[in-house]
């Protein structure tokens, strides 16, 4: 990941820092899919941007793996909270798509 290097460059110029967000702030405003093919990479992504910026990704119909399989494997190795799982599986996609949240916070 190049963010520490980008942050160093960003911090080297006070005028640059005054004009915009740091690289870390900027990356946390993006959306990412969970299809990293590696549970450890997905864990790092979730730790960096938070579960609310991660959605289930799929290469279907090109590959046969079930959508969300990397998230399932990560959860088997390093359990996520029920809230984080629900966020990644449902709520973040609802937010990304601009859909109304179901009553009772189910998404």
* Contact between residue 80 and residue 47 where contact means Cβ atoms under 8 Å apart: no
pLDDT at residue number 15: 87
More confident site: 105 or 59: 59
pTM score, whole prediction: 0.83
CB 68 within 8 A of CB 35: no
> Terminal CA-to-CA distance of the chain, rounded, Å?
30
Q: What is the pLDDT of residue 16?
A: 82
Share of the chain above pLDDT 90, in %: 64
Q: Quick one: pLDDT at residue 32?
A: 96
**Mean pLDDT of all residues in 42-60:** 94
- pLDDT for 105 equals 58
């Amino acid at each position: 990941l190049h963010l520490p290097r980008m942050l160093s460059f960003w911090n080297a110029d006070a005028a640059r820092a005054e004009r915009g967000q740091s690289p870390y702030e900027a990356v946390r405003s993006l959306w990412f899919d969970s299809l990293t093919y590696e549970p450890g990479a997905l864990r790092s992504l979730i730790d960096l941007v938070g579960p609310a910026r991660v959605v289930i990704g799929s290469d279907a119909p090109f590959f046969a793996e079930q959508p969300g399989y990397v998230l399932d494997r990560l959860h088997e190795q390093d359990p996520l909270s029920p809230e984080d799982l629900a966020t990644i599986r449902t709520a973040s996609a609802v937010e990304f798509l601009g859909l109304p949240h179901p009553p009772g916070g189910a998404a």
